[in-house]
């Protein structure tokens, strides 16, 4: 495997950062997870835009332009001979000292890893998964805004641990007022009477690239859609429920906190959206050749 590290492609064993890098010491940095389908990087420009927005919000100067970043992603995929893969793009604050002061970090570091990923077994896409609400709440926007995809993912990791301890694959996270926010790595949607609902961004919800793609699919297929505050009760009584994310794609949910959703199997609307999503992964993005 070849890893892009600050302008060079190096072997996996040589892809090393300093222990004084503030991304390692403090989680001071940002990242994106991106998918490639049959030599097309899905929504690459949208991912790069969001990466730069996250960096701008934490006052992190990106050492590459957007165009150069896109070229670096393609270069890494080609170097690994990947037509279908998962790309993890990381920008850390860079090497500093043991203090918090970001001014001590003179140069940000860029890492791009291209590999394969299988987040869930295929059977879970066919049969659906069970999720559970966990005690760990989503970060407050006034503390660490979930719109920023930062390297500090402990909030999500703690919730994931609680889900695993409860015997579930994924956790439902609420905001500080008890409303539905999102899952540890995915946005959440419900279907009720043929209409689609998902929490608004102000509820501590990441504006997911896949989430936006689903909203576009719904609009084109004339499915009424609402970005609406949701309670757990509204999840319990929904007809269908599914999760969306770059790595997970679209995952049907058939049980929430022990309550069966609909008829306990992926619903008609969910399956239709999954089918339409597969279509756009072949057309929406940046094409490359090996």
Model confidence at 156: pLDDT above 90: yes
- State the DSSP string of 96-116: --SSS-GGG--S-EEEEEEE-
Q: Per-residue pLDDT tens for 163-198?
A: 999 999 999 999 999 999 999 999 999 999 999 999
- State the DSSP string of 1-48: -EEEETTEEEEGGG----TTBHHHHH--EEEEEEEEETTEEETHHHHH
Distance CA 179, CA 173 (A): 9
* Band of pLDDT at residue 204, cut at 50, 70 and 90: confident
Q: Per-residue pLDDT tens for 59-106?
A: 999 999 999 999 999 999 999 999 999 999 999 999 999 999 999 999
Q: Do domains 2-115 and 122-280 have the same CATH topology?
A: no
Model confidence at 23: pLDDT above 90: yes
Give the model's pLDDT for residue 75.
98
Catalytic center residues: 149
Model confidence at 268: pLDDT above 90: yes
Give the model's pLDDT for residue 145.
92
Residue 76 in contact with residue 122, Cβ under 8 Å? no
Give the model's pLDDT for residue 106.
96
Model confidence at 111: pLDDT above 90: yes
* Band of pLDDT at residue 118, cut at 50, 70 and 90: confident
Q: Per-residue pLDDT tens for 32-61?
A: 999 999 999 999 999 999 999 999 999 999
Burial of 18 (0-12, 13-18, 19+ CB in 10 A): middle
* Band of pLDDT at residue 202, cut at 50, 70 and 90: confident
* Band of pLDDT at residue 120, cut at 50, 70 and 90: confident
Model confidence at 201: pLDDT above 90: no
Give the model's pLDDT for residue 134.
98
Helix (H, G, I), strand (E, B) or coil at 152: coil
Q: Does domain 2-115 have CATH number 3.30.470.10?
A: yes
Q: What is the pTM of this model?
A: 0.95
Distance CA 83, CA 4 (A): 17
- Summarize the confidence of residues 130-136 as an average pLDDT: 98
Model confidence at 286: pLDDT above 90: yes
What residue segments make up the domains of the chain, in order of their start? Answer: 2-115, 122-280
* Band of pLDDT at residue 117, cut at 50, 70 and 90: confident
Assigned fold of 122-280: D-amino Acid Aminotransferase; Chain A, domain 2 (3.20.10)
Q: Per-residue pLDDT tens for 226-261?
A: 999 999 999 999 999 999 999 999 999 999 999 999
Backbone angles phi, psi at 97, to 5 degrees: -115, -165
């Amino acid at each position: 495997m070849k890893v892009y590290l600050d302008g060079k492609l190096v072997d996996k064993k040589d892809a090393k950062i300093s222990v004084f890098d503030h991304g390692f010491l403090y989680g001071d940095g940002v990242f994106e997870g991106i998918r490639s389908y049959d030599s097309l990087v899905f929504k690459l420009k949208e991912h790069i835009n969001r990466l730069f927005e996250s960096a701008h919000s934490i006052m992190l100067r990106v050492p590459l332009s957007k165009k150069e970043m896109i070229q670096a992603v393609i270069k890494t995929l080609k170097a690994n001979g990947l037509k279908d893969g998962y790309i993890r793009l990381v920008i850390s604050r860079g090497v500093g000292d043991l203090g918090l002061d970001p001014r001590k970090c003179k140069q940000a570091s860029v890492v791009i890893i291209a590999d394969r990923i299988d987040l869930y077994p295929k059977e879970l896409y066919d049969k659906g998964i069970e999720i559970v609400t966990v005690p760990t709440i989503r970060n407050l926007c006034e503390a660490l805004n979930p719109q920023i995809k930062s390297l500090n993912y402990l909030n999500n990791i703690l919730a994931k641990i609680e889900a695993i301890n409860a015997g579930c694959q994924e956790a439902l996270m609420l905001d500080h007022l008890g409303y539905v926010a999102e899952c540890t790595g995915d946005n959440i949607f419900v279907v009720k009477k043929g209409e689609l609902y998902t929490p608004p961004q102000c509820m501590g919800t990441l504006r997911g690239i896949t989430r936006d793609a689903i909203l576009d699919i719904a609009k084109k297929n004339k499915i009424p859609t609402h970005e609406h505050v949701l309670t757990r009760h509204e999840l319990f009584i929904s007809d269908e429920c599914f999760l969306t994310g770059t790595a997970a794609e679209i995952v049907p949910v058939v049980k929430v906190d022990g309550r069966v959703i609909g008829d306990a199997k992926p619903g008609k609307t969910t399956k239709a959206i999954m089918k339409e999503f597969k279509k756009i992964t072949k057309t929406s993005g940046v094409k490359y050749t090996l």
